[in-house]
Every structure is written in structure tokens, then in C-alpha cells.
Amino acid sequence: GAVVSQHPSWVICKSGTSVKIECRSLDFQATTMFWYRQFPKQSLMLMATSNEGSKATYEQGVEKDKFLINHASLTLSTLTVTSAHPEDSSFYICSAQAATSDTQYFGPGTRLTVL
């Protein structure tokens, strides 16, 4: 199957700093990428959908100025958590979908801990 990578796999940062997470489709072109967040013992919650070259569409309740998404190429999307706070600590997972498929392939996730 298709491979999606995320980097870093885990990060610990101080409150107030910004953290950038990369999501890459390694062997296919991802026209659409999705960012999810998962808190402990809860399900994945879609944060935003991004199409290559367009602005991301954010879900209700997700602050677009806090969670900056850039999908500048068909193989890379980035999520920047700006001025992170402890309540932003979570498991962030991206998924990627090709134009010719309705299957989403998930990255391995990034565990963010904000102290």
C-alpha cells in the first residue's frame, strides 16, 4: 500500500513555542491531505482538510491562526502549532489521498507534549 510518513514522531516543547509537523506521501501524489487530532481514549477528530495549492478548510472549532497548514506540493503538507500550550498536547495524525483513489493512507502520527 501507499506510504505516508510524519516527522517528528514525537516532540516535547515549552509552552509558547511553535511546533511544525511534516506529513509526506512517499510513493504517490497526494492531492488532498487531512490533519486529525486524537486525545487519550478518544477517537480521531478531523481538524482540517487541505488540497494542494489551496487554503485549508478547517473544521468548526479549530482555530486556523493557531494551527497553520501548508500544502505546497503534492507530497508534503505541514501543520504548525503556533504558541503551543499544554492543552494542545495530543497525538496528531495526517492522512493523504490521491486524486485517483478514495482511500486515505495514514501517517504514523506525531505525539506532541507541551510542558
- Check if the beta carbon of residue 8 is closer than 8 Å to that of residue 92: no
Binder among 46, 62, 68, 74 for other proteins (CB under 8 A): 46
Residue among 12, 8, 67 at smallest CA distance from 36: 67
Residue closer to other proteins by CB (options 14, 60) is 60
Residue 49 lies near other proteins (rule: CB under 8 A): yes
CA atoms within 13 A on the CB side of 60: 0
Residues from 78 through 107 that contact other proteins (CB under 8 A): 91, 93, 97, 102-104, 106-107
Residue closer to other proteins by CB (options 1, 86) is 1
51 DSSP β-pair partners = 32
Binder among 17, 18, 29, 42 for other proteins (CB under 8 A): 42
